[in-house]
Structure 1
Amino acid sequence: MLFDTPPRTVARVCVDSPLPHLDRLFDYLVPEETADRVRPGCRVKVRFAGRLLSGFVIELATDTRYEGRLHPIEKLVSPEPVLSEPVAKLAREIADRYAGNLSDVLRLAVPPRQARIEQEEPPGRAGPIVEPPAAGWRRYAHGERFLTALSARRHPRVVWQALPGEDWRTRLAEAAAATAAGGRGALLIVPDQRDLEALDAALTRVLGPDRHVCLSAAMGPAKRYRAFLAARRGTVRVVAGTRAAVFAPVADLGLVVLWDDGDDSHAEPHAPYPHAREVLLTRAKLGDCAAVIAGWTRSTQAELLVESGWATAVTAERETVRRASPRVVPVGDDADLAADPDSGAARLPTPAWRAAQKALRDGNPVLVQSPRRGYLPAVSCADCRRRAQCAQCSGPLGLPSSGATPACRWCGRPAADHRCAGCGGRRLRANVIGAARTAEELGRAFAGVPVHTSGGDRILGEVAAGPAIVVATPGAEPVAVGGYGAVLLLDTWALLSRADLRAEEEALRRWFAAAALARPAADGGSVVVVADGGLPTVQALLRWDPAWFAARELGTRNELRFPPLVRMVALTGRPASVAELMALTELPTGTDVLGPIPVDAETERLLLRTTRRDGMRLAAELHRASAARSLKKPGDVVRVQVDPRELW
């Protein structure tokens, strides 16, 4: 009819707002002049409550349920559809899993726009990828079949425990190549930039040049956005990156990989605080693709995947493990003290000294893992042993270098005239010895041997073959050409005595990461761990069997109702605010309320514990309650963290 209303296009937009009560899609009219360019996934500006806000078009429709007058889209920022439909669905799932807002997840998923990069001529697609050889994977049970399944477009899900000395970056590159040879995409996530650079080189060797891109926050805005667009446009099929790449828009995703899932770097520090492992496992579920959780050890979360039947363990036979492993020597039990009474007070016991001497004599480098950075990070009174504190802020005093003036580690004030508040003494002694002091001591003990340090903002990538001593903090151990002749694990108490649910698991992860760099026992490689050989963590290192420890730890946590067998949620805020949120929340039946405990003078922390089955329901309830509070008190926020990394 002549007077029929012409059809109109409605865009459903996710508005960029941190307020929980605005966590939904809002309908806007698409202006006629931009109707042919507005597409799902593009960036727009919309008018909301009198302000101009950014947003993403999630979908287009011809009708709306909104009964009022629709506002038009104010501005089409770019017609580039940077948000793909699979990533939008993933973002919604992750937001619900972590009791967060969709807009917060999209802020993590899509990097800021670089207009100049969008105008660049896109590179042509590279040719087909040849399926890689499977020789490296044949050392593992199910390894060759795993690669075959990837190239056949199937979706195996595995937990892979790498052998000591394994070139794990090349193995992961081969898995990505097998996936790409089958016509699907792959996404590989590693903890830090150093690992990413090494993985980048391995992917170039296996895939060939220009067949993959790297994504990380350290790349710089332009380079990162260029790599992001290459993945979004389907120019490349393989993406490698750090935590910032977990939402990378890989076309036809067939494989997700996470190396060392226990590393703290995989935990996102911004709301809603998702963990890279959970994001990738959710992608595997939604996209029906293969998944690999890999590392030198096995986390309790990975063990739960194996025990539940969700994933298959890919490990080597025991005989293969024995041939590849170094000899592990514990030092610290009663028999060691009886044989060498002075070793109890020595930082470098006799067996460790001898192992280092032998390795250097054989022309091999020695790795020393020291858990603390700095020189003397903590000192105390030499007379009464009271911890030395700053006179201004009561912070701990430390010594930054030999001959330096003691200084506060909190406010940085020097304390040249420090006097003990307890006895008045002026002399100081070391409480904790850092990596710099360790390197200094070893340099004096092994005169003429080069001593290198790795840690903090100066991390070594590789150490040449030949006699040398490398003192590294956990996670900063460089690879040695040919492997280390000896690895010394010092001050183990510093890792084992942490007030953390994951202290033993984390200690074992860090020990294995260093020990895996040693030469096999047949080639003279040895690991000396300064700890009691009866400890479960040391037993796992002795047997080179982290799966045994993970199963044992998971069983203990099951009895105590600890994660990952349950869902934990931490609520942090002002006491009155936390109480208001709890009053608005309908907790699932059986949910435990633990606390609250004070965090500082103004805030407290409350823990909620429920079953894994009720985890999503609890997250939904907390998000609903947060939305109700934000309507009344938009500035008074209670931080909600699902499965926080630190529980005490």
Structure 2
Amino acid sequence: MGDEDIEQRPAAGPVAAVVVETPLAHLDRVFEYAVPDELAADAVPGARVRVRFSGRELDGFVVERRERPQHDGRLTPLRRVVSPEPVLTPEVLALCRAVADRYAGTLSDVLRLAVPKRHATAERNLPLECPPQEDVTAPAPGPWTAYPAGPAWLRRLAEGEGPAAAWTALPGRAPADDWPEALAVAAATALAAGRGVLLVVPDHRDVDRLDAALTALLGKGRHVRLTADQGPQARYTAWLKVLRGHARLVIGTRAAAFAPVHDLGLVAWWDDGDDLLAEPRAPYHHVGVVLGLRAAVTGAALLAGGYSRSLRVQVGIQSGALVPVEADGAALRAAAPRVTIAGEGVDEERDGPAARAHIPSRAWRVAKDALVDGPVLVQVPRRGYLPALSCAECRTPVRCARCQGAVALGAAGTAPSCRWCGLALAGSGFECGHCGSRRLRSSVTGARRTAEEIGRAFPGFPVHTSGSGEVLATVGREPALVIATPGAEPVADGGYTAVLLLDAWASLDLPVLDAPLEALRRWMAAAALARQGRAVVLSGAPEAVALPPVEALVRWDPAWLAARELEERRELGLPPAVRMAQLTGGRRPLEEALEQADLPASAQVLGPVRLSPAAAALRRAAVDADPDRAPADHHALVRVPLGETAALTRALLALKAFRSARKEADIITVRVDPLDTF
């Protein structure tokens, strides 16, 4: 059933089936209400309503009008229709239900993320009728000619088919051939064929680049933006433009994945491994999974792009669900930067200990030569000054005496303090509880300290920092040093003349299962910003170890690393070769919940075990506000074969409903496919 059917279908039937906005899992179903005569014309399927529910007035959505109720008894009448605008289309409703089932969440959880809050002024000001627009002319393949399978994929898209592809983008492309322009060409091809388009990227800076590329190719007014940084009226106006058919091309961040695009023909997203594409609120879904569900139902073409390759994409390629679109060997060798590893070869013999300094001699020389004709990018794994301290003698990490948080130095000349609670070290100074030493050393150097060091080494050159709270979007062509944390690298006009990747060990030591792939993704994202064929120096890699992520970077071969990692996961029974769910709460409530859950026979339960201090602190504010609740300081993992995913999520949903109906005081948080468990 299409979106137009909602507007044309008469709102017949004196009974309204309503989804009530309540987080309680045992109430995750539709409820029937009587429709008063005065509301009959406005209470259309998809409309927002107010209803009386458990002694309170709550919001909800009409999902169906029925001639007769399916349950006996007297029906409570609808209180009022908030708006007759059918914002919840059948397609979006079905998608939200599928996402809730896939992630063991409730429909209400997904709806609050999928449908923006109403803004009455926006509804009044936006015309109902769509202004006429000229037809879009199909563009030339342009950037896609660099990939042997690219023109064929575009041709199938133009013919109304639904090809699904995994696109590995070339690095160092000129602006006319970079990834935003390639996505713009794909979008224009779909629009020219009369198909709607939905493009999702990780953050607003990516949206800005994509916005500029689409405007240059299609002109203004052909697309809308949906991002979290828009105000309520701007976001709801953009949503209404899509709902009413004023625009059939949507770009945005993760919430845009649910936009009600008419005649959807293409869904695409960029950089599948970026954690900004994973929703941090229940039910903790991932954009790639959401768009995959949409494409499967609507028959839309699908495109997952990026410089690197995630395991989710690798699984799709190996299963045949995704076809790789990548350049041949000659084109890749010509485009890839020249990656060298500091401290290898003659570096150690020539430079001595300086070969493995925080900024080694090779990196200094490359930066000095590159600054002659343009900016140099320096990627630092952490923001701050000295974000982690340890004992200088035994290397034991320094912990806060109050909360056991990490102790850091915020700036030169200041006292070390806790990053969690702010408590400064006592006036008598530090004394290691393990060896008794009173000397401190830095475990990792932050962006501000690196900028300070480089500024002294290269006087006369401007130094820009880009990180949390002060992210730069672009820098010019003039010589400068740009110090950035992963994900905050600004785009240089014409590209960087060199890229230095510092403290490689810090990226490789991330306490997550995906650390090798995440390290490679970070490095490739920065290295891809270099001009074609320019130098990239990786420093701080562990000595005398042949590390697959380092090898993959030197060879510029993310597919090899993804295939290797996936094969190891299959041998070890780890995600994504299996389905994993994480249950978090107090130890005793967790043990009770696992006994109550009707898990599949194949399920393997690991734990409960105590969370790390950092993970426990992240959950404490949200879950431990009630002193009567057990502290959420433990978690358990449930592992099942992929074929048992539906059985696992049904069991977890039933568990949540059971505990909700019993009004259990202790909250058990459920996450399917957790990203930060390991």
> TM class, shorter-chain normalised?
over 0.9
In structure 1, C-alpha distance between the alignment counterparts of 2:596 and 2:168, rounded to whole Å: 45
Partner of 1:62: 67
Partner of 1:592: 604
The one of 93, 98, 103 equivalent to 1:88 is 93
The one of 177, 196, 200 equivalent to 1:185 is 196
In structure 2, C-alpha distance between the alignment counterparts of 1:127 and 1:8, rounded to whole Å: 40
Deviations 1:314-372 (A, max 9, x none): 000110011111111012458643454313541122221221121113x1211111001
CA 1:107–1:537: 2 relative to 1, 3 Å:
same
Alignment of 1:318-467 (within 5 A): 318-333=329-344, 336-343=347-354, 345-361=356-372, 363-382=373-392, 387-415=397-425, 417-422=427-432, 428-467=440-479
2:39/2:80 contact within 8 Å kept: no
1:155 aligns with 2:162: yes
The one of 22, 42, 51 equivalent to 2:27 is 22
1:270 aligns with 2:281: yes
Q: CA deviation at 1:234?
A: 0.9
Partner of 2:574: 562
In structure 2, C-alpha distance between the alignment counterparts of 1:636 and 1:381, rounded to whole Å: 39
1:118 aligns with 2:130: no
Q: CA deviation at 1:124?
A: 1.9
Partner of 2:592: 580
In structure 2, C-alpha distance between the alignment counterparts of 1:347 and 1:337, rounded to whole Å: 14
In structure 2, C-alpha distance between the alignment counterparts of 1:623 and 1:387, rounded to whole Å: 40
CA 1:180–1:389: 2 relative to 1, 3 Å:
same
Deviations 1:268-305 (A, max 9, x none): 11111111111011111111111111101011110111
The one of 613, 617, 622 equivalent to 2:643 is 613
3-state DSSP of counterpart to 1:223: helix
1:326/1:527 contact within 8 Å kept: no
Q: CA deviation at 1:582?
A: 2.1
Say which is worse superposed, 423-432 or 162-171, in terms of deviation. Answer: 423-432
- What is the one-letter code of the residue matched to 1:360? L
Say which is worse superposed, 422-431 or 245-254, in terms of deviation. Answer: 422-431
1:105 aligns with 2:137: no
1:588/1:618 contact within 8 Å kept: yes
Partner of 1:4: none
**Identical aligned pairs, as a percentage?**
50
2:366/2:535 contact within 8 Å kept: no
3-state DSSP of counterpart to 2:522: helix
1:170/1:199 contact within 8 Å kept: yes
2:359/2:539 contact within 8 Å kept: no
3-state DSSP of counterpart to 1:127: coil
1:366/1:487 contact within 8 Å kept: yes
Alignment of 1:68-79 (within 5 A): 68-79=73-84
CA 1:8–1:215: 2 relative to 1, 3 Å:
closer
Partner of 1:486: 498
The one of 228, 244, 249 equivalent to 1:233 is 244
Aligned Cα root-mean-square deviation (Å): 1.9
Deviations 1:356-397 (A, max 9, x none): 121113x12111110010111123455675544445545433
1:502 aligns with 2:514: yes
- What is the one-letter code of the residue matched to 1:615? T
Partner of 2:621: none
In structure 2, C-alpha distance between the alignment counterparts of 1:334 and 1:417, rounded to whole Å: 47
Partner of 2:148: 141
Say which is worse superposed, 599-608 or 450-459, in terms of deviation. Answer: 599-608
Deviations 1:175-205 (A, max 9, x none): 1111111111110000011111111111111
1:547 aligns with 2:559: yes
1:643 aligns with 2:673: yes
- What is the one-letter code of the residue matched to 2:71? Y
Partner of 1:44: 49
2:342/2:356 contact within 8 Å kept: no
Runs of 5+ unmatched residues, structure 2: 1-11, 617-630
Deviations 1:423-445 (A, max 9, x none): 87765432321011001101111
- What is the one-letter code of the residue matched to 1:135? G
2:347/2:362 contact within 8 Å kept: no
3-state DSSP of counterpart to 1:294: strand
In structure 1, C-alpha distance between the alignment counterparts of 2:392 and 2:650, rounded to whole Å: 55
In structure 1, C-alpha distance between the alignment counterparts of 2:137 and 2:489, rounded to whole Å: 34
1:13/1:58 contact within 8 Å kept: yes
Partner of 1:604: 634
In structure 1, C-alpha distance between the alignment counterparts of 2:640 and 2:402, rounded to whole Å: 44
The one of 212, 218, 242 equivalent to 2:253 is 242
1:419/1:425 contact within 8 Å kept: no
In structure 2, C-alpha distance between the alignment counterparts of 1:33 and 1:396, rounded to whole Å: 62
CA 1:427–1:525: 2 relative to 1, 3 Å:
closer
1:630/1:636 contact within 8 Å kept: no
The one of 127, 130, 134 equivalent to 2:134 is 127
Q: CA deviation at 1:412?
A: 2.0
CA 1:426–1:574: 2 relative to 1, 3 Å:
closer
In structure 1, C-alpha distance between the alignment counterparts of 2:670 and 2:582, rounded to whole Å: 6
1:407/1:415 contact within 8 Å kept: yes
Q: CA deviation at 1:85?
A: 0.7
In structure 2, C-alpha distance between the alignment counterparts of 1:424 and 1:617, rounded to whole Å: 54
- What is the one-letter code of the residue matched to 2:649? A
1:518/1:527 contact within 8 Å kept: no
In structure 2, C-alpha distance between the alignment counterparts of 1:381 and 1:104, rounded to whole Å: 45
Partner of 1:256: 267
CA 1:426–1:561: 2 relative to 1, 3 Å:
closer
CA 1:383–1:631: 2 relative to 1, 3 Å:
closer
Q: CA deviation at 1:625?
A: 2.1
Taking structure 1 as the reference length, the TM-score comes to: 0.95
In structure 2, C-alpha distance between the alignment counterparts of 1:441 and 1:221, rounded to whole Å: 43
In structure 2, C-alpha distance between the alignment counterparts of 1:625 and 1:385, rounded to whole Å: 44
1:484/1:525 contact within 8 Å kept: no
Taking structure 2 as the reference length, the TM-score comes to: 0.91
In structure 1, C-alpha distance between the alignment counterparts of 2:427 and 2:658, rounded to whole Å: 55
Count of matched residue pairs: 639
2:602/2:640 contact within 8 Å kept: yes
Q: CA deviation at 1:261?
A: 0.9
Deviations 1:464-483 (A, max 9, x none): 11321111100011111221
In structure 1, C-alpha distance between the alignment counterparts of 2:552 and 2:53, rounded to whole Å: 58
Say which is worse superposed, 440-449 or 87-96, in terms of deviation. Answer: 440-449
In structure 2, C-alpha distance between the alignment counterparts of 1:563 and 1:464, rounded to whole Å: 42
1:201 aligns with 2:208: no
- What is the one-letter code of the residue matched to 1:126? Q
In structure 1, C-alpha distance between the alignment counterparts of 2:367 and 2:26, rounded to whole Å: 61
In structure 2, C-alpha distance between the alignment counterparts of 1:243 and 1:427, rounded to whole Å: 46
1:371/1:474 contact within 8 Å kept: yes
Q: CA deviation at 1:603?
A: 3.5
CA 1:132–1:10: 2 relative to 1, 3 Å:
same
